[in-house]
Structure 1
Amino acid sequence: MTSHPSTLLSTALLTLWLGVGMVSCSQAAPIPSLPGSPSSMPRPSQASPTRPVASPSPTPSTPAKPVNPKLIAANNRFSFNLLAAVRQQDRSRNVFISPSSVAIALSMLYNGAAGETQKAMAEALQLQDLSLDAVNAANETLKTRLESDNAKVKLTIANSLWLKQGMTFNPEFLSRNQRFYQAKVASLDFADPQSPQVMNNWVKRNTNGRIEKIVDRLNPQDVLYLMNAIYFKGSWEKPFNKQQTREQPFRLANGQTKPHPMMQQFGKYSYAETEDFQAISLPYSDRRLSLYVFLPKEGKTLDALADGLTAETWERWQQQFGKREGSIVLPKFKLEYDTELKDALTTLGMKSAFIPGVADFRNLSDRATFIGQVKHKTFVEVNEEGTEAAGVTSIGIRTTSIPQDPPFQMVVDRPFFCALYDSQTGTILFMGTIVDPSR
């Protein structure tokens, strides 16, 4: 597929494989209601697993419903915890994840968890202060608030559940995922060699062709594939001039340098600087989404910066941004990243969910199940006319900027941290540490 020279593209996909556990629970007691959810919650009267239940769209005159701030706070804590856990596995390569994709997919699965597994997932996702009903309602609102489809900025979120034919699933689990997550639910013959291609076609369609394949083959133990896809494509509010892009040296962590195309521009930006880093917010044309770039100061390392990243420091650093004139030199980059998240999620407290006979997903099925694999893929491309997504609502309008400050110079010619952030909801859609933009 050809690249899009006038856009910044970000695509994420998370897939969870669920397998049948070692112990059959076909004689288990009736499935209880999940904590925090009303037992009288309606189920689709025309229930067909292949027909999602659409949520009513608000009328144009309906004010935008705010997202539960407790979910945003939980998601941000989870985001930085996840990045830290993923980076433990390999600090020498580029890491680029979509914590929102992972959080949404795991929230869908959370509807099937019970007992200690539910507690472990709540701890990992930082959802201890929210009932399940509140989690679902907040995620439904978040999806509505985030999605955008116009000529300048496109952001879509898609969910799907692929069920093994012959396996019994709790209708309430399916109903909630259809209702709150607008998930496509479909049954497949997992013995059919064409079934992986059916799933991969969904993946390709919902990532605009950027990710073409997630499933190679089906394991006999597999009973459910749960997928989330986030696709973002946007144009910078202020595009970079291609004629000013120059080959310049980019310094790697080991001290070696390699030539790399560097974009340049001068203007007034939302900018912050401390003794440890320089940071800039590059807004997209809708001015609610921004690409934040944090560059460690000379003598400081990306590892030290990343190790200090938490939801609390992120919030504190945002308060330091103010409008200031200056120049930015930023590398073009295009990368694909994929990882298996079992180890990272185990580090965050979800170990029991991966152990056959220990994992408790009784609210998903009357058979014992466990998570077999959690696979995460991302794609990102940043170029001259790409996207800047900056939220002016909370960033860039502070009166703390000092007009007499001299213009800053920010040359991103060494490893850096970046995040794609939605200021309207406070959501971090993508984040990563880039150690070599040429890879």
Structure 2
Amino acid sequence: MKKHISHVVIIGWICSVVLGLHGCSNADELLGITEVIKEAEHLAGTDLVLANTEFAFDLLAKIHQQQPNENIFISPFSISLALSMTLNGAEGKTQLAMANTLKLDLISLDEANQTYAKLRKSLQVLDTKVELSIANSLWLRQGVTFKPDFLERNQNFFGTKVAALDFDQPQSVGIINRWVSQNTNKNIPKIIDSISPQMVMLIINAIHFKGRWSKEFDKSKTREKDFQLLGEGTKRVPMMHQSGKYLYYSGSNFQVINLPYGSGRIGMYIFLPNSDTFLGDFLTNLNADNWKGWISKLHKLEGDVALPRLKFTYEASLNRVLKVLGMEVAFAPNIANFGGIRPVPPNLFITEVKHKSFVEVNEEGAEAAAATSVEIGVTSIPQKFSLMVNRPFLFVIQDNWTQTLLFMGAVFEPVIEG
């Protein structure tokens, strides 16, 4: 008998947002914020956050290998969320492969779900200069039976909107696209052009961020400067300048600085490899242990900073990357086991994991719609540093309270689109 096959599509998005926290007006609110801080600090040490960090750097390295010397901008947190939502419906070898890829193999599914629920709640409480929003949705083919437990877990732990649509009707495409547009502040007006007859479910995650620098760059100091491209060429780019005291560290072949947003809970970490170090090599050797060690060595130091303006979109199918990282079985039509989503047969399998992002870095702040090495420190601490970001660099936006990596990008050539 011919085996029936249906499929699942997963999409991760990042863009811009408008959301904030009002200032505290009384002792009860102050007490509430204190509890939020305690909870965030607890989350920072959880196995889930550590797993997400490890997955983020694995993902970034593999994307760079497949797209060498190209600008990259992703939200590893968005991708982890979307895949973890799907993981709740995986069984057998498929569940094991996905858990291993996400570094969740030593964490129970219940523990991961509960920690995600707490993490999502913690990340909603920021400050008046930092806006962050996370939205999830499941779009189901009308008339197809899905297991209630799968839907309930996504609703309870991930705050997921669940909606059944007649996928054969053209207006279903518009309904889904409008939800995406509304949850990306209209920066991403369309995600799908059509729905195939085999599609039974669409899983969408959206994470949106907008933050103002704690200390904004003075626009009058922005100047056109040369940015060193790969090879011998240079490109004139608008370079923003400021001076002050920053969290800074100089390693054996790089410099890193933290530029904070708002009250400092969220910051952008900029890694500038030395002029004789290729950014690609730096990305290949970057891992969770290196990250943790370097961030712990940051210290306040007076210095001068020059950073190029940025504005670009990024879009990629993550199928190849996730297969290389160990998730190949989840994409195999006759092997994948998503029996936790709906009764089988017919089989479910993932046909595409798609990620699209937008980032803008300017004088006011940023708006955004993932080996073994030996660390050799400098023998003495300089009295002042100069960080001229005029060659390829890495930047990471982290929530410092929970130590969650929200966004990361590798810039080989600064661009300002639009």
TM-score, normalising length from structure 2?
A: 0.86
Q: Contact between 2:139 and 2:163, CA under 8 Å: does it hold in 1?
A: yes
Partner SS, residue 313 of structure 1: helix
Work out which of the residue numbers 365, 385, 388 in structure 2 matches 1:411: 388
Aligned to 1:386: 365
Aligned match of 1:232: 209
- The answer on whether the counterparts of 2:178 and 2:189 sit within 8 Å (CA) in structure 1 is yes
Q: 1:238 to 1:377 in 2, by over 3 A?
A: same
Is the CA contact 2:209–2:367 (under 8 Å) kept in the aligned structure 1?
no
2:227 maps to 250
Deviation at residue 160 of structure 1 after TM alignment: 0.2
> What SS does structure 2 have at the residue aligned with 1:272?
strand
Question: 2:318 is matched by which residue type in structure 1?
Answer: L
8 Å CA contact retained: 1:110, 1:121: yes
* 1:115 aligns with one of 86, 89, 92: 92
Partner of 1:377: 356
2:133 corresponds, among 152, 156, 162, to: 156
Shift of 1:92: 2.3
Aligned-pair CA distance for 1:402: 12
- 2:177 counterpart residue number: 200
Write out per-residue CA displacement over residues 244-303 of structure 1, whole angstroms, 9 at most, x where no aligned residue. Answer: 000001111122001000000000000010220011100001211000000011111101
Q: Shift in Å at residue 150 of structure 1?
A: 5.0
Distance 2:388 2:260 in 1: 18
Partners of 1:176 and 1:286 in 2: how far apart? 34
Provide the residue aligned with 1:106 in structure 2.
83
* 1:30-45 correspondence to structure 2 within 5 Å: none
Shift of 1:206: 1.0
Query: 2:21 matched to which residue of 1?
Result: none
Helix, strand or coil: the match of 1:174? helix
- Aligned counterpart, 1:146: 123
Q: Give the whole-Å Cα distance in 2 for the aligned partners of 1:306 and 1:291.
A: 17
> Residue 200 and residue 348 in structure 1: after superposition, are their counterparts in 2 closer, same or farther (change >3 A)?
same
**What is residue 210 of structure 1 aligned with on the other side?**
187
- Matched ranges for 1:412-427 at <5 A: 412-427=389-404
Paired letter, 2:363: E
Contact persistence 2:252–2:378 (CA under 8 A): no
Look up the SS of the partner of 2:394 in the other structure: strand
Structure 1 runs (4+) greater than 6 angstroms displaced: 400-404
Contact 2:250 2:378 survives alignment (8 Å): no
SS of 2:365's partner is coil
Shift of 1:129: 1.3
> Match for residue 133 of structure 1?
110
Percent of aligned pairs with the same amino acid:
45
Report matched runs for 1:289-300 at 5 Å: 289-300=266-277
Q: 2:332 is aligned with what amino acid?
A: I
Number of residue pairs matched by the alignment: 376
Given that 1:283 and 1:388 are in contact with CA atoms closer than 8 Å, whether structure 2 keeps it comes out as no
CA deviations 1:226-255 (Å, max 9, x no partner) are: 000000011100000000000001111122
Does the residue aligned with 1:348 lie in a helix, a strand or coil? Answer: helix
Structure-1 residue corresponding to 2:410: 433
Tell me the SS of whatever aligns to 1:207.
Answer: coil
3-state SS in 2 of match to 1:224: strand
Q: Is the 8 A contact 2:304 2:385 kept in 1?
A: yes
8 Å CA contact 1:289, 1:388 repeated in 2: no
| Per-residue CA distance 1:302-358 (angstroms, 9 max, x = gap) | 011111110011001112211000000000000100000000110110000001110
In structure 2, the residue matched to 1:177 is 154
Structure 1 149/409 Cα, relative in aligned 2: closer, same or farther at 3 Å? closer
Indicate yes or no: 2:3 matched with 1:23: yes
For residues 263 and 165 of structure 2, the distance between their equivalents in structure 1, rounded to whole angstroms, comes to 40
Matching residue within 218, 237, 242 for 1:265: 242
The one-letter amino acid of 1:313's match is: N
> Counterpart amino acid of 2:358?
F
Contact in 2 for aligned 1:76/1:311 (Cα 8 Å): yes
Distance 1:401 1:427, change over 3 A: farther
CA deviation after TM superposition for structure 1 residue 131, in Å: 0.5
Query: Residue type of the partner of 1:196?
Result: V
Root mean square deviation of aligned Cα? 2.2
Instruction: Give yes or no for contact 1:237–1:387 (8 Å, CA) kept in 2.
Output: no
Per-residue CA deviations over 1:45-104 (Å, capped at 9, x if unaligned) read xxxxxxxxxxxxxx9555233326100110000000111111121112100110000000
Instruction: Report the counterpart of residue 53 of structure 2 in structure 1.
Output: 76
1:312 matched to which residue of 2? 289
5+ long unaligned stretches in structure 1? 1-21, 27-58, 390-399
Matches of 1:117 and 1:179 in 2, distance apart?
A: 23
The one-letter code sitting in structure 1 at the alignment partner of 2:359 is: V
Matches of 1:162 and 1:264, distance apart in 2: 46
Q: CA deviation at 1:388?
A: 11
Q: Give the TM-score normalised by the residue count of structure 1.
A: 0.82
**Aligned: 1:343 with 2:343:** no
Structure 1 CA distance, aligned partners of 2:220 and 2:338? 56
